[in-house]
Chains A and B, each alone.
Chain A
Amino acid sequence: MKIHKYDTVIVGAGGAGMRAAIEATKRSRTAVLTKLYPTRSHTGAAQGGMAAALANVEDDNWEWHTFDTIKGGDYLVDQDAAEILAKEAIDAVLDLEKMGLPFNRTPEGNIDQRRFGGHSRNHGEAPVRRSCYAADRTGHMILQTLYQNCVKEGVEFFNEFYVLDQIMVEVDGVKKSAGVVAYELATGEIHVFQAKAVIYASGGTGKFFKVTSNAHTLTGDGQAACYRRGLPLEDMEFFQFHPTGIWRMGILLTEGARGEGGILRNKDGERFMEKYAPVMKDLASRDVVSRSIYTEIREGRGCGPAGDHVYLDLTHLPPEQLDAKLPDITEFARTYLGIEPYTDPIPIQPTAHYAMGGIPTNVMGEVLADNTTVVPGLYAAGEVACVSVHGANRLGTNSLLDINVFGRRSGIAAAEYAAKNDFVELPEDPETFVLAQVERLLNSTGKERVAALRTELQECMDANVMVFRTEQTIKTAVERISELRERYQHVAIQDKGKRFNTDLLEAVELGNLLDLAEVMAVSALARKESRGGHYREDFPNRDDVNFMRHTMAYREVGDDGIESIRLDYKPVVQTRYQPMERKY
């Protein structure tokens, strides 16, 4: 085992982690631990754009953006945070441009902007061009630009280091962060990083679903590490299902495709979104469009022999426009489906896309231990966190924004905290938990296989807690997950080596997914209403009287050693926007 000492440690090198690193490195001795090489992070897969009311091509302002974000989130958004997001969006985009990001340009040479779902002029009057973009490679350009600037600033990376545990220490009755424990993939060695401040920026957890736009590596490691140490997870029942994933594969086809004029059609060729969202049509918010697609499918208007998908039609758009604005996604259709989008519509279905919930933080990125208490020295930003700027449903282009705004904020806040505070003394043998976990998996002689359990989990989640949920389906999920967690105790791996043991790490990741799936299902069961991404067929309406509040889920371990999940609730911060019915 090795011990390292840094002022600030950042877990993750996606957009949020690297944006934080650029700030933290200037102000404190910083290390970035990442299980992937930075440029492999899933931020690079983002396509459509990043929202900011630059008003480069038409009238716009940050107040409209704030309103859209709150309405899009079905009023579960903390309004003070949404205001910060929309206000700081403008500088966030300009900062990236100055760092070198090659945005698409207007004829005048300004940053070009395009339409995106749920973003509107003057509180819902009509769609507005607010998304700043670089073809359909915006995330790739953000990830590359941030990495380039990390190289420029000399940010110190520990690549292929998996953080597996968060070290919490109680000092005078206050629980503080003392650092993290990591596993080095290349050698199998365990490293303890003592740090004054730790920032989690480890991304989402979409791999507990089968049809998903998320990478194999998005397994919620950060959420799970904090949760296991008694910290709450907020709003985990809210997961976004993006309307246009490639049928059966889940690979994303950006909403920018509809922003450019693409249309959703059922088997009769009907533009069905006109029925469900007369004003915004195909550009209504994602939860609305995903439910509409499944309604078409359920009512027998789906396409294909099994009637299990609909079409994204781009055939009426000029090929030049597709080549210039949507080169990557049209190539995905060609590569993976053998379809030519110039002439043929693309089969799509909703795909599990984005975790609205996560580690609760305030607007400085400080992690909360309960509804109000800050954990000294602990921060989170990006998809792993829940500020909450996305509420019950995130608007497209607001996450690339979120990672930049709150990545920056947490980087500054953490480094400033580190400058003013001392190291918290490490507990004796801080590596105990990770060591035991690794040893158990390496020595297990059980009969269960990781891949089989993971497939069962994914199928269970797709069947029971996706776009439509009922008490019965969620209960089924809770029971199945609990069985799977039991079986997970008997999981065995084949690779017993120290070098690049990805077999071992996949087993660890599955454990995280199982923990988080259970939190999601239990949180969903208790929310007896429909709001944003959480839709209960048995409670189809939003219930502001009983459920206008955030879920806070805590792991509890009884004296008998039995684990359970305790749910609590946290009020939503409301400033000037009164909840209204959400229509598009």
Chain B
Amino acid sequence: MATPTMDRVEAGSAASDHLLTVTFRIRRFNPEVSDESTWQDFQIDIDPKERVLDGLHKIKWELDGSLTFRRSCAHGVCGSDAMRINGKNRLACKTLIKDIVALDKTGAAAKPITIEAIKGLTVLKDLVVDMEPFFQAYRDVMPFLVTTGNEPTRERYQSAEDRERFDDTTKCILCAACTSSCPVFWNDGQYFGPAAIVNAHRFIFDSRDEAGEQRLEILNDRDGVWRCRTTFNCTDACPRGIEVTKAIQEVKRALITRRF
């Protein structure tokens, strides 16, 4: 077996001493101050291997304490900090500066990094949006296991294969990156949106569940899966790598064949 030696990972240090000067161009909105949103530039020196979230913290902690955003885990598992970064939905804590900053020939940042709230949900302050409609759509698809009959004394059996069937959609962290990247959702707030369908999929294809039919009926609604135009924005946006569009297609197919 090859023995790892000390010189193999120098390049991978989490933070080096090389700092880059970048401008964060942030869309600010505070109804206590004004009804209009405005873009504001902040210049910071930051290690390009750090996260966009680290940059936001630097601004909040050193330059402007009123800058407001949600965050908690800082490593892509809690779903708090979906935002539009350079026009694409991402988690600020899972996006490294170096991966999104454009450099000029001298190695300096060529353009500002733009950051704004996700679209389609009401902005409440800066990068914070009203998540209630999003969670309401989630709750509407019966996102819980439904079974009938007597409970077994031990666990329910499930083959490894059956478990694998819905693995992809169990990964969802309800960050709303998918739903708020969907043009149908932007234009029509009634659409359930991809995240709710992903969470319905998670149960429809769980061999232990017995409410697949009911969930399919809910999604057969005019604001249900048929609204999906298969633009793949959601799949591109998902920070958990869930094949969102595929899940929606599988639900559509199940509606037609009633087999799942």
Contact = CB atoms under 8 A, between A and B. Distances in A.
Contacts of B5: 267, 269
B78 A137 contact: no
Given A100-B145, A303-B6, A109 B72 contact: no
Contacts of B145: 98-100, 148
A484 B155 CA distance: 52
A344 B4 contact: yes
A499 B14 CA distance: 35
B22 to A, nearest CB: 19
Given A102-B167, A217-B72, A499-B124, A45 B77 contact: yes
Contacts of B1: 316
Contact of A215 (B30, B78, B135, B157): B78
Contacts of B12: 337-339, 344, 347
A138 to B, nearest CB: 12
A339 B14 CA distance: 10
A325 interface: no
Given A148-B144, A265-B4, A267-B5, A493 B31 contact: no
B111 interface: no
Given A148-B144, A267-B5, A499-B124, A39 B78 contact: yes
Interface in B1-17: 1-6, 8-15
Interface stretch (A121-129, A246-254, A365-373, A551-559): A246-254
A207 B242 CA distance: 31
Contacts of B107: none
B11 A338 contact: yes
Contact of B10 (A251, A305, A335, A346): A305
Interface residues of B, number: 71
A390 interface: no
B246 interface: no
A315 B4 contact: yes
A102 B74 contact: no
Interface string B54-69: 0000001110111011
B151 interface: yes
A503 B69 CA distance: 10
B128 interface: yes
A345 interface: yes
A152 B32 CA distance: 37
B2 A315 contact: yes
B159 A109 contact: yes
Given A247-B14, A497-B32, A313 B4 contact: yes
B94 A335 contact: yes
A346 B66 CA distance: 37
A471 B85 CA distance: 48
B76 interface: yes
Contacts of A339: 9, 12
A39 B14 contact: no
B27 interface: no
Interface stretch (B36-44, B168-176, B181-189, B214-222): B168-176
B208 A100 contact: yes
B71 interface: yes
A247 to B, nearest CB: 6
Interface residues of A, number: 76
Contacts of A98: 145, 147, 151, 155-156
Task: Tell me which of B13, B126, B159 has the highest count of chain A C-beta atoms within 10 A of its own C-beta.
Answer: B13
A7 B131 CA distance: 28
A225 B231 CA distance: 49
B9 to A, nearest CB: 6
Contacts of A248: 13-15
Contacts of A303: 6, 9
A332 B78 CA distance: 14
Given A40-B72, A40-B79, A45-B73, A246 B14 contact: yes
Given A315-B4, A337-B12, A97 B156 contact: yes
Task: Tell me which of A100, A111, A186 has the highest count of chain B C-beta atoms within 10 A of its own C-beta.
Answer: A100
Interface in B59-110: 60-62, 64-66, 68-80, 94, 96
B160 A105 contact: yes
B139 interface: yes
Contacts of A449: 61
Interface string A495-506: 101111111000
A255 to B, nearest CB: 17
Contacts of B94: 335
B154 interface: yes
Given A102-B167, A500-B124, A110 B157 contact: yes
Interface in B23-37: 30-33
A311 B2 CA distance: 14
A249 B54 CA distance: 11
B96 A335 contact: yes
A452 to B, nearest CB: 8
Contact of B154 (A94, A186, A499, A500): A94
Contact of A39 (B4, B70, B174): B174
A344 B11 CA distance: 12
A498 B12 CA distance: 42
A336 B14 contact: yes
B125 interface: yes
Interface in A292-335: 303-305, 311, 313, 315-316, 328, 332, 335
A291 B68 CA distance: 40
B57 to A, nearest CB: 8
B9 A345 contact: yes
A503 B11 contact: no
Contacts of A313: 4
A530 interface: no
Given A45-B77, A140-B173, A499 B32 contact: yes
A240 B231 CA distance: 47
B253 to A, nearest CB: 22
B166 interface: yes
Contact of B72 (A215, A337, A497): A215
24 contacts: A36-B78, A37-B135, A44-B73, A99-B144, A102-B166, A108-B157, A109-B160, A110-B157, A144-B172, A148-B143, A215-B74, A216-B73, A217-B72, A246-B14, A247-B14, A267-B5, A336-B75, A337-B9, A338-B49, A345-B8, A346-B9, A495-B68, A500-B68, A502-B68
CB-based closest 4 A-B pairs: A100-B145, A451-B61, A494-B65, A269-B3
Interface of A: 36-37, 39-42, 44-45, 93-94, 97-100, 102-111, 134, 137, 140-141, 144, 148-149, 151-152, 186, 215-217, 246-249, 251, 265, 267, 269, 303-305, 311, 313, 315-316, 328, 332, 335-339, 344-347, 449-451, 493-495, 497-503
Given A102-B166, A502-B60, 11 more contacts: A39-B173, A42-B78, A93-B155, A100-B144, A104-B163, A110-B155, A251-B75, A304-B10, A332-B75, A336-B75, A449-B61
